């Protein structure tokens, strides 16, 4: 699509139209998409063409979303036409709608959340982090990926490489999770509790407690998984019960799975409060 101006012989009238070129057989014909208006002088013509650019951008957005918003495309087309000093009915040599993203630099997740991760002490939750440097780094990247886009471990590995330029081996990711043992989990919960209670410098008087279930694409039961109630109606798959406690502000204080007695978990946390 492009903006076309049609003049009338021996008349100041100039008609502004939005047209599209279509091939019919061996011939290319122009079909009028929208009549924009009639300009009686040069000042009206300039305003009419600018209006036509905005209308054209919105029409193109309806058929195929572009990288930029319609108003941005229209403004770039207007500026481009002015700089190129094109005649009224001559289309731009560059179709802004064909612009494609080739590369993206994402900053903020590792720089901001990564610093908070270290300040809260989560970089030291695995045993002997000095010897397990790569494992510690992998855990940081996984947490950052989950903050940016909560997804599976496989999807997180793909997102990290695509969006952040971080390449992780999926098998190494699974092996790294073995370092998150019961001692590490207890330490993570303690640091979360200390951060939540220290942030407001006051005693936590209200704790919200809730349970949910997660299911595996498996029918096998073990000490962690067993068949039971499923919110997703996956009753035949094995389930995992997950409990979480948060503050009034929604900050997490701790969690447990079915292996931990929930009543005991609740008693411990409330006693600490």
pLDDT along the chain (273 residues), means of 10: 82 86 80 86 84 82 68 74 57 60 71 88 80 87 90 90 87 89 85 77 70 70 68 71 78 67 43 43
Which strands sit side by side in the sheet containing 252-257, from one edge to the other?
208-215, 239-246, 252-257
CA atoms within 13 A on the CB side of 211: 15
User: Given this model, what pLDDT does residue 221 score?
Assistant: 72
Handedness of CA 222, 225, 229, 230 (dihedral sign): negative
Residues in the chain: 273
- d(CA 187, CA 194) in angstroms, rounded, equals 10
Handedness of CA 187, 109, 211, 250 (dihedral sign): positive
Domains of the chain by residue range: 2-98, 103-180, 201-273
Phi/psi of residue 12, each to 5°?
-75, -5
Phi/psi of residue 156, each to 5°?
-65, -40
User: Given this model, what pLDDT does residue 169 score?
Assistant: 92
- d(CA 266, CA 273) in angstroms, rounded, equals 11
Please report where in the chains the tokens 């109630």 appear, as a residue.
229
Residue 262 near residue 251 (C-beta atoms within 8 A)? no
Kindly state the tokens that stand for 246. 């948060």
Which strands sit side by side in the sheet containing 27-39, from one edge to the other?
2-7, 14-24, 27-39
């Amino acid at each position: 699509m492009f903006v076309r101006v049609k003049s009338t012989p021996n008349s100041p009238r100039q008609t502004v139209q939005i047209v599209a070129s279509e091939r019919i057989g061996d011939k290319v014909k122009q079909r009028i998409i929208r009549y924009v208006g009639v300009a009686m002088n040069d000042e009206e013509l300039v305003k009419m063409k600018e209006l036509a650019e905005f209308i054209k951008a919105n029409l193109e957005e309806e058929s195929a979303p572009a990288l930029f918003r319609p108003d941005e495309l229209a403004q770039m087309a207007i500026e481009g036409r002015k700089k190129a000093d094109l005649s009224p009915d001559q289309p731009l040599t560059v179709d802004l709608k064909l612009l494609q993203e080739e590369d993206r630099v994402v900053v903020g997740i590792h720089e901001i959340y990564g610093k908070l991760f270290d300040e809260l002490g989560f970089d030291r939750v695995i045993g002997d982090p000095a010897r397990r440097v790569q494992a510690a780094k992998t855990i940081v990247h996984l947490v950052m990926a989950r903050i940016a886009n909560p997804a599976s471990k496989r999807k997180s590995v793909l997102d990290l490489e695509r969006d952040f330029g971080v390449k992780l081996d999926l098998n190494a990711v699974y092996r790294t999770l073995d370092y998150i043992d019961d001692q590490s989990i207890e330490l993570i919960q303690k640091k979360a509790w200390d951060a939540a209670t220290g942030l407001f410098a006051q005693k936590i008087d209200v704790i919200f407690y809730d349970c949910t279930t997660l299911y595996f694409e498996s029918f096998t039961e073990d000490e962690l998984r067993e068949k039971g109630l499923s919110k997703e109606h996956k009753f035949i798959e094995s389930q995992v019960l997950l409990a979480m406690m948060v503050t009034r502000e929604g900050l997490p204080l701790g969690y447990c799975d079915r292996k931990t007695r929930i009543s005991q978990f609740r008693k411990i946390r409330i006693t600490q409060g």
